[in-house]
Chain A
Amino acid sequence: MRQIIQYIESYLDPNVKVTPGAAGNMFWVLVYILLVFGGLSVAVIAMNWLERKILAHMQVRLGPMRVGPHGLMQPIADALKLLLKEDIMPAEADGLIFWIAPFVVVLAAFTVFVVVPFGPTHAITDMNIGILFMLGVSSLSVLGIVMAGWASNSHYPLIGALRSSAQMVSYEVAMGLAVVSAVLMTSLNAQGTGTLSMIGIVQAQQAQGEWFIFKFFPLGLIAFFIFAVAMVAETNRAPFDLAEAESELTAGFHTEYSGFRWSLFFLAEYSAMIAVSSIAVTLWLGGWLRPFPNMLSGHIWDQVFSLFPGVTFLLFAAMCFYNTVRMPKHPLFRVQTIGLAGFGVVLGLIGLILFIPAVSTRIQDIFWFSAKVAGFMYLYIWYRGTFPRYRFDQLMRMGWKVLLPMGLGVLILTASVALLQEKLWHP
């Protein structure tokens, strides 16, 4: 018993400055896995509500308003509905593959979070091949989509799966080239060796005092742009959601799925979106680093920026209270009003806890990482509300004739500029 406690406490030693995976402490690895996947599930639920609300407001509608105040309980109601729905399998479907496909997609989408760095020590583990692992495992999700489309033994799913696989394989190429040009930038140090590890990439940005999106302006920005376009295509989201184009293919590869299996596809789609966004944040936007580390440096600014997590939650709480006041004064709305006020109190308490210095210094990196990822999530919704869907030939032309040559050019230019810089300025 004593040994177990010692084993658990050994990671809490302030001298241990590595991830639990690197320290080899299985207990904390388990805790981190549960935390990451719990947080991910909450994020998917929140994203479900936010997407409907934001999209609705962009289209001058109200969105879900009935279940709970401002539809806050809607995701829970939906989850219950999905679990209670009848699970249908088409008679002519290939049983085993139909059954496995959703699990493949979910596994691929969740496994990548093993290497996502929420902070220098806040990751499940750090791999020597971190970014390669993320790209590789997330590319396996296309297998699940193809399996789902084929096993349904129906035309719409098959066409959806074909489109999706062609699209994902094409955009992976441009995506890979953009990633390579960012990885190349990590090698601009005294030793001249780069790294593929996710934590190493952020530390390289910290050491060079520059996020890679601003490096060799505009080369970093162009690489980031290529990745930002390719990642939307990679996750099959609007305006590249041809695999599930409602007007043409009903629902694409998951037409024949219902109930729990369909919700697995849904879960996988949203966690894949979070995963690619965290790749973009790690590679170009400085991962867990706070904004303006050079311009606004010093002890006072560190203090100011450490207040941000708490202030954010207090703002959410204030929004809740503002809307509590604006709720209709009818007796039928009393429960909803009290519920909204209660939610505001909970958010405010979380905000107050985050002001405690011991908590705020530990939570800083996680907060900035999540805030940057949240920005990408908002962009996803914004795209969906703004852009019309591409036609399939336009999509392919964009991938192969625009993004791929651009990626190659950026890679060559980045390498040349890096060489020049090394030769001219630091002979």
Chain B
Amino acid sequence: MAPVATPFFFYLLSGIMLIGGILVITRKNPVHSALALIVTLLAQASIYLMLYAPFVAGVQIILYAGGIMVLFLFVIMLVSIDRSMKERQFNSQWVVGIVAATALGGLFIAVYTKGKDIFPEHALPMVENDNTQQIATMLYGQYMFAFEIASLLLLVAIIGAVVMAKKRI
């Protein structure tokens, strides 16, 4: 079967992601921003698919596009749109912005020019068909401890949110 991961799709999806990302920060209406963010996240999931990582793509759709963004919209919808439209959109942090942009840009240029030494020349021979199984063996074998610590951290965050939100438990 011919590979789907052609440059055409990569540029198409990156284009969608970039446009979506720009719309997120330039739209005045917060609901429009959130929807643009969803488009960006979906395009990102497709890029994961192109990298032969279907599991990560599926999780991206379930967690971000289907779960977290719904909660985002849920909160934004309750905010008065008329008032938030009048608020100042950018807080003019020029210095911090320029420093961050140069750092990120420098990183990209460094990777682009010196990338051959850092990254392997060929794609790793990952088999698409047991991507999920490989992630499972890695997570629950080699990185078991880190995985458990991360889930403990999330549990603490959940309990903290409940404690802060509820006066009487």
Interface residues of A (CB under 8 A from B): 24, 94, 97, 127-129, 132-133, 135-137, 139-140, 142-143, 146-147, 149-150, 158, 161-162, 165-166, 168-169, 172, 193, 196
- Distance from B115 Cβ to chain A, minimum over Cβ atoms (Å): 29
In the complex with contacts A146-B74, A150-B31, A140-B65 CB distance below 8 A: yes
- In this complex, what residue of A is CB-closest to B74? A165
Is there an interface contact between B128 and A136, defined as CB atoms closer than 8 Å? no
Q: Does residue B1 face the partner (Cβ distance < 8 Å to A)?
A: yes
Q: Does residue B77 face the partner (Cβ distance < 8 Å to A)?
A: yes
| Additional A-B contacts beyond A139-B66, A140-B66, A143-B73 (18; CB < 8 A) | A24-B1, A97-B35, A128-B128, A129-B55, A129-B57, A132-B62, A136-B61, A136-B65, A139-B61, A142-B70, A146-B73, A146-B74, A150-B73, A162-B78, A165-B74, A166-B74, A169-B71, A172-B67
* A–B pairs, 9, beta carbons within 8 Å: A128-B54, A128-B132, A132-B58, A136-B61, A136-B65, A136-B66, A140-B65, A146-B74, A169-B67
> CA of A196 to CA of B131 in the docked complex: distance in angstroms?
11
Is there an interface contact between A193 and B133, defined as CB atoms closer than 8 Å? yes
- In this complex, what residue of B is CB-closest to A196? B132
A149: B residues at CB distance < 8 A: 77
Is there an interface contact between A140 and B73, defined as CB atoms closer than 8 Å? no
- In this complex, what residue of A is CB-closest to B29? A94
Is there an interface contact between A146 and B58, defined as CB atoms closer than 8 Å? no
In the complex with contacts A137-B61, A139-B66, A128-B129 CB distance below 8 A: yes
Give chain B's interface residue range (CB within 8 Å of chain A): 20 to 34
> CA of A70 to CA of B126 in the docked complex: distance in angstroms?
59
> CA of A344 to CA of B58 in the docked complex: distance in angstroms?
45
In the complex with contacts A142-B70, A143-B38, A132-B59 CB distance below 8 A: yes
Q: Does residue B50 face the partner (Cβ distance < 8 Å to A)?
A: no
Q: 0/1 per residue, B45-89, Cβ < 8 Å to A?
A: 000000000110111011001110111011001100000000000
Is there an interface contact between A128 and B71, defined as CB atoms closer than 8 Å? no
A140: B residues at CB distance < 8 A: 61, 65-66
- Distance from A141 Cβ to chain B, minimum over Cβ atoms (Å): 9
Residue from A137, A143, A149, A193 with most neighbouring chain B CB atoms (10 Å)? A143
Is there an interface contact between B1 and A129, defined as CB atoms closer than 8 Å? no
> CA of A146 to CA of B66 in the docked complex: distance in angstroms?
12
8 A-B pairs with the lowest CB-CB distances in the bound complex, closest first: A139-B66, A24-B1, A132-B58, A136-B61, A136-B62, A129-B58, A129-B54, A146-B73
- Distance from B124 Cβ to chain A, minimum over Cβ atoms (Å): 17
- Distance from A260 Cβ to chain B, minimum over Cβ atoms (Å): 22
In the complex with contacts A24-B1, A24-B2, A129-B54, A169-B31 CB distance below 8 A: no
B58: A residues at CB distance < 8 A: 129, 132-133, 136
- In this complex, what residue of B is CB-closest to A134? B58
> CA of A136 to CA of B59 in the docked complex: distance in angstroms?
8
> CA of A136 to CA of B70 in the docked complex: distance in angstroms?
13
B2: A residues at CB distance < 8 A: 24
B66: A residues at CB distance < 8 A: 136, 139-140, 142-143, 172
> CA of A373 to CA of B10 in the docked complex: distance in angstroms?
38
B78: A residues at CB distance < 8 A: 162
> CA of A24 to CA of B3 in the docked complex: distance in angstroms?
10
B65: A residues at CB distance < 8 A: 136, 139-140, 143
Is there an interface contact between B62 and A139, defined as CB atoms closer than 8 Å? yes
Is there an interface contact between B77 and A146, defined as CB atoms closer than 8 Å? yes
- Distance from A292 Cβ to chain B, minimum over Cβ atoms (Å): 32
> CA of A142 to CA of B131 in the docked complex: distance in angstroms?
28
- Distance from A369 Cβ to chain B, minimum over Cβ atoms (Å): 23
Is there an interface contact between A169 and B70, defined as CB atoms closer than 8 Å? yes
> CA of A133 to CA of B69 in the docked complex: distance in angstroms?
18
Is there an interface contact between A135 and B69, defined as CB atoms closer than 8 Å? no
A135: B residues at CB distance < 8 A: 62
Is there an interface contact between B129 and A162, defined as CB atoms closer than 8 Å? no
- Distance from B67 Cβ to chain A, minimum over Cβ atoms (Å): 7
- Distance from A424 Cβ to chain B, minimum over Cβ atoms (Å): 22
Is there an interface contact between B31 and A97, defined as CB atoms closer than 8 Å? yes
A162: B residues at CB distance < 8 A: 74, 77-78
